[in-house]
Amino acid sequence: KQEVTQIPAALSVPEGENLVLNCSFTDSAIYNLQWFRQDPGKGLTSLLLIQSSQREQTSGRLNASLDKSSGRSTLYIAASQPGDSATYLCAVITSGTYKYIFGTGTRLKVLA
């Protein structure tokens, strides 16, 4: 049974810092891994999708890496800004299924 864990659960950093959010999953047979952002009371915004054959994806100040063999992904945020404050969710699709399995998220607060 696929399980997704995200650490840390919460993170508070001063503006301008580079930071790393971690995601681990127990079953390495995945189709893809996706990072989402969720603002309080709002929906999910897709940030980056990494297919199982890829090792990383980049979008602006965000870079996500995937190491299937170790069951890990990291989301790197460069030069953090207060507007980056949100909950970041990691989700995987296990091969042969279609369900997202979500982690419980990392609540990020970037202080001005």
- Would you tell me which residues interact with another protein (CB under 8 A)? 4, 31-32, 34, 36, 41-44, 46, 49, 51-53, 89, 91, 93, 97-105
Rounded least distance, CB 30 to another protein, Å = 10
90 CB-contact burial (10 Å; exposed 0-12 / middle 13-18 / buried 19+): buried
Q: Which is nearer to another protein, 71 or 105 (CB)?
A: 105
- Are 71 and 28 in contact by the 8 Å Cβ rule? The answer is yes
Rounded least distance, CB 101 to another protein, Å = 8
> How many residues does the structure list for the chain?
112
The one-letter code for the residue type at 61 is R
Q: Which is nearer to another protein, 4 or 110 (CB)?
A: 4
Tell me the Cα Rg of the chain: 13
Rounded least distance, CB 14 to another protein, Å = 26
Q: Which is nearer to another protein, 15 or 39 (CB)?
A: 39
Q: Which is nearer to another protein, 69 or 112 (CB)?
A: 69
Distances (CA, A) of 21 to 40, 49, 77, 82, 98: 19, 15, 8, 16, 25
Rounded least distance, CB 16 to another protein, Å = 30
